Amino acid sequence: QVQLVESGGGLVQAGGSLRLSCTASGRTFSRYSMGWFRQAPGKEREFVAAITWSDASTRYTASLKGRFTISRDNAKNTVYLQMNSLEPEDTAVYYCAATERFIPSLGADYGSWGQGTQVTVSS
């Protein structure tokens, strides 16, 4: 299926910024939307944002919309998550995922997942 490779995670101080990248390869013709999820230690996987490849329609978790921005570069087969004003509560493994559905917020609606990239925010 679609292969997703993430990068951009790391260790940052509170208030800092990171930009995560996810590049798709393989059966990219089957993609319609891309999403970002995160999972903090001991917690359930949480939806962050999603975007369509066609017209860049977006969906966000309301509490993150002001700090996080999802975007995509179709020519590079890459989706980004710009994260600003990071807080310790943002510490998690961040995953990108691909789906043929319209920017769903449920993980079960995504068929392909990246390996995850660790984001750690220190206080």
Pairing of strands 46-52, 58-60: antiparallel
116 CB-contact burial (10 Å; exposed 0-12 / middle 13-18 / buried 19+): middle
Q: In whole angstroms, what is the distance from residue 87 CA to residue 16 CA?
A: 8
What pLDDT is attached to residue 29?
54
**Could you list the pLDDT tens digit for every one of the 123 residues in the chain?**
789 999 999 999 999 999 999 999 986 655 689 999 999 999 999 999 999 998 899 999 999 989 999 999 988 999 999 999 999 999 999 999 999 899 999 999 999 999 999 999 999
> CB-based contacts of 86: which residues, under 8 Å, 6+ apart?
12, 14, 15, 16, 17, 18, 67, 119, 121
